[in-house]
A and B are shown apart, each in its own frame.
Chain A
Amino acid sequence: MNLTLKVWRQKNAKAKGALETYKLNDVSEHSSFLEMLDMLNEQLINEGNEPVAFDHDCREGICGMCSLYINGEAHGPDRAVTTCQLHMRMFKDGDTIYIEPWRAKALPVIKDLIVDRSALERIQHAGGYISVNTSGNTQDANAIPIRKSDADKAMDAASCIGCGACVATCKNSSAMLFVAAKVSQFSYLPQGQVERKERVLNMVHQMDKEGFGNCTNTGACEVECPKGISLEFIARMNREYFGASIVAEN
């Protein structure tokens, strides 16, 4: 198929960016979206131009490295997939495709389609862990049985890949879904109970400090999240936060 691509080009964080138009022909419908971009880059390089910079690594939907806002949707038009899992068969011959970076104050552009997600890292530093040292004599893994339904819920929450699509898609640029996923995972597990209150307070505090917006329950994040992280977890985190704040005030 033959395509017209409108791609965001931006030299660096300080430069002003703009959409550039490229024509790309003979794209196989079996190729992935990123393989289509590889083709574009090969074409640009052969013409002596600078290729488009974009983030990617595993190309199988698990590392969370790829991003991209495609035709106004985080990770493109397909559901429950990352950009790297998106296939060209979702598009038609003659299509014009808009390709832009995540846009959010807390996730500034570094170059072209690559953004800086270190704000998400700092939220994890603030409390995304259980304080246990490495030692060869931790208690036996089966010492505390965990209800299967709780373990499964924890697993669902833990599936977040930290891609940032939820932030990019939210009109308030809120990181609630991302933070709620981690807070919820630990809240379902007995091991997570000791630090439960400090965790939610610290992570939410850091999120606010980084300049992410407030959650107004639009639900857009859940729709675009490639891993189907549920809004239920945001509700759970709100309860956790409320409970912890009351205790903190006393």
Chain B
Amino acid sequence: MSKLDSKIPEGPLKDKWTNYKDHIDVVNPANKRNIDVIVVGTGLAGGSAAASLAEMGYNVKAFCYQDSPRRAHSIAAQGGINAAKNYQNDGDSVYRLFYDTVKGGDYRAREANVYRLAEVSANIIDQCVAQGVPFARDYGGLLDNRSFGGVLVSRTFYAKGQTGQQLLLGAYSAMNRQIAKGKIAMHNRHEMLDLVIVDGKARGIIARNMITGEIERHSAHAVVIASGGYGNVFYLSTNAMGSNASAAWKIHKKGAYFANACYTQIHPTCIPRSGEHQSKLTLMSESLRNDGRIWVPKKLEDVKAIREKKIKPVQIAEQDRDYYLERRYPAYGNLVPRDVASRAAKERCDAGYGVNATGEAVFLDFATAIERYGKEKAMVSGIENPSKEKITELGEAVIEAKYGNLFQMYEKIVNENPYKTPMMIYPAVHYAMGGIWVDYNLMTTIPGCYAAGEANFSDHGANRLGASALMQGLADGYFVLPYTIGAYLAKEIRTGKIPTNTPEFDAAEKGVREQLEKLINNKGKKSVDYFHKKLGKVMWDNVGMSRNAAGLKKAMDEIAQIREEFWKDVFVPGEMNELNPELEKATRVADFLEFGEFFAVDALHRNESCGGHFREESVEMDGEQEGEAKRDDVNFRYVAAWEYTGNPREAILHKEELTFNDIELKQRSYK
């Protein structure tokens, strides 16, 4: 398995998917009844895949660690989902969505996959509406759209600030219909702990029933991994507490190549940390940057006074404020892409201008927007010479209609009224562009093992645009995988049921049991969280928003050390054969401790700055772009897919060269 074969179909870009679908092998309905498919994960990707595969007639076994498929972390997505519908008649098209996604991803995605994504995007909206997803509508009863960062058209569909919730509940309802029919066997509160390979093919998983602690064997003709992203390797992120890398890491250790781990998105607008007790970070949607202006004080004495609460932010005069995004990027201003906005915030805070006690916060200010909207509203309402108070009142109402739920969320957490004083925000780990390497069919390098959604290395290159992850998850699950998996399963119609009483299942189960026993019997002194927090700090300090070779090497050593200490000194209370949240955490953190080191290896090898990956060694030295990220297309225009060798540090690099026939490679400029 030396050469990576991406299996991109021949032919012109725009015909590839159609031609391919027309010629793909299919399984006849009677045979589908004899074929089992395991789907690990029930978020947008896994949920939509499970429902669609079951509808087609396969026997699906689905797994999630929560007590219901409806609780996968897709539920938390706020802003919206992109689709090239061109309902707003603003010149959107499949090509434009494709182009924006490839450019936004800093030219590190596979053209053919992104084009297919753009092609099926419109079907997603049709499908969801048919399922009863209550998207926002205008007064004419038609679907409404909003715009997101990095693009010039309005193509984002939304359901209040709860788009992910509504899309997931749509997929969940489609699953429920199949669960009722017996076509999906749903395993809630089950965690996959290993993959079983028989004769080189993925044939099942070992899972732990999280209520009874029982170790179970499940077999199938194909296994789909849709287990979400790995952001929690940083401990603090916008992910859910249970989000993990384990399913992906386990299949990596069994032979699936892992790609581009260093491409991680740090989202610029999250609520800052408030202290040591912090367990997770909360996102404030990107849509806020449409109306909010980002700033810090110009003078350090003002910073000090604010931190000591001697003055209020509103008391700082206009000329003493540094609207640093508007200053540095006059063309895009506050709407520069996420990676650029995040680094700029870090730059100001590192220079000492952070506005809260931890020194890690900047202001997101709505005062200008409130005034502007207030005046507009007064004008259309025919109010002459409105008072300042009236303008504020009218303007706040407009802001409330747009972002009310986010403002309420902020107020609940921070206990400050963001209508009256600017929000405080800081970047936080948010999304994993990297993931399991897959070919055009979404198959990993293990035959019969597929990866979908955030878990695969996906279509977002080095940086994902807002509202594109939901689109990708549903595209994978509703419209891509159900076709491509057929080509593989067509060869399995004579295989018959896969037995689980074989040496391969024995060995996998034994490995799982041994690890769990080791954790329980370790009886060390320190909690799992102690190690997770320690790992997170090393990752954030050295493998975070800005990286350099010395820091990355240091991180690799430190992580290896923490891992050693973990296995010596971790304390996991309770038993194996019962509900045991500490044991669950321990297995996940054990994997993060390997994954984190591997992550640094990928970041170290990629000596270019590209999308979410910023190397201090690779910046523009002069000219208009001085100090900005410098991509290196000559040496790094490839997907880095790594093969596991037994030690995260010694992974072997395989390169998938990226060719761009339908797009011209350009330097991203937002000046």
Contact = CB atoms under 8 A, between A and B. Distances in A.
Given A87-B413, A121-B188, A141-B143, A62 B130 contact: no
A229 to B, nearest CB: 13
B605 interface: no
Contacts of B497: none
A125 B179 contact: yes
A155 B123 contact: no
Given A50-B573, A58-B240, A118-B67, A186 B132 contact: yes
B275 interface: yes
Given A151-B135, A185-B132, A129 B176 contact: yes
B486 interface: no
Nearest to B529: A42
Given A56-B241, A63-B71, A65-B71, A147 B76 contact: no
B412 interface: yes
A57 B241 contact: yes
Nearest to B477: A134
A34 to B, nearest CB: 7
B305 interface: no
Contact of A38 (B134, B139, B242, B529): B529
A230 interface: no
Size band of the interface chain B makes with A: 35 or more
Interface stretch (B159-167, B308-316, B370-378, B541-549): B159-167
A154 B134 CA distance: 6
Given A63-B73, A191-B131, A85 B571 contact: no
Contact of B162 (A41, A89, A111, A159): A159
A39 B242 CA distance: 18
B495 interface: no
A161 B75 CA distance: 9
B433 interface: no
Contacts of B188: 118, 121
B579 A114 contact: yes
A62 B165 contact: yes
A81 B413 CA distance: 11
B68 A32 contact: no
* Among B126, B131, B134: residue with most chain A CB under 10 A: B134
A218 interface: no
A7 B142 CA distance: 51
Contacts of A192: 132
Main secondary structure of the interface of A (DSSP, over half): loop
Nearest to A139: B126
Interface in A198-212: none
B178 to A, nearest CB: 9
B573 A63 contact: no
* Among A32, A55, A60: residue with most chain B CB under 10 A: A60
B578 A111 contact: yes
B479 interface: yes
Interface string A34-60: 111011011011101111010111111
B423 to A, nearest CB: 16
Contacts of B573: 44-45, 48-51
Contacts of B274: 28, 30-31
Contacts of A57: 66, 71, 73, 240-242
Given A87-B413, A134-B51, A159-B162, A191 B141 contact: no
Interface string A172-201: 000000000000011011011000000000
B160 A34 contact: no
Given A45-B573, A87-B413, A58 B166 contact: no
Contacts of A147: 141
B271 to A, nearest CB: 10
Contact of A138 (B71, B123, B166): B123
Contacts of A125: 176, 179-180
Contacts of A12: 578-579
B174 interface: yes
A61 B75 CA distance: 10
Contacts of A188: 134
Interface in B209-254: 211, 240-242
Contacts of B428: none
B646 interface: no
Interface stretch (B98-106, B278-286, B438-446, B552-560): B278-286
A223 interface: no
30 contacts: A11-B578, A12-B578, A30-B275, A31-B278, A34-B279, A45-B571, A48-B573, A57-B73, A58-B73, A58-B241, A59-B279, A60-B76, A63-B73, A64-B75, A65-B66, A65-B67, A80-B408, A85-B412, A87-B412, A110-B211, A129-B177, A130-B130, A131-B177, A132-B174, A134-B482, A136-B123, A142-B142, A148-B139, A148-B141, A152-B134
Interface of A: 11-12, 28, 30-32, 34-36, 38-39, 41-42, 44-46, 48-51, 53, 55-65, 78, 80-81, 85, 87, 89, 110-111, 114, 116-118, 120-121, 124-126, 128-142, 145-148, 151-152, 154-155, 158-159, 161-162, 185-186, 188-189, 191-192
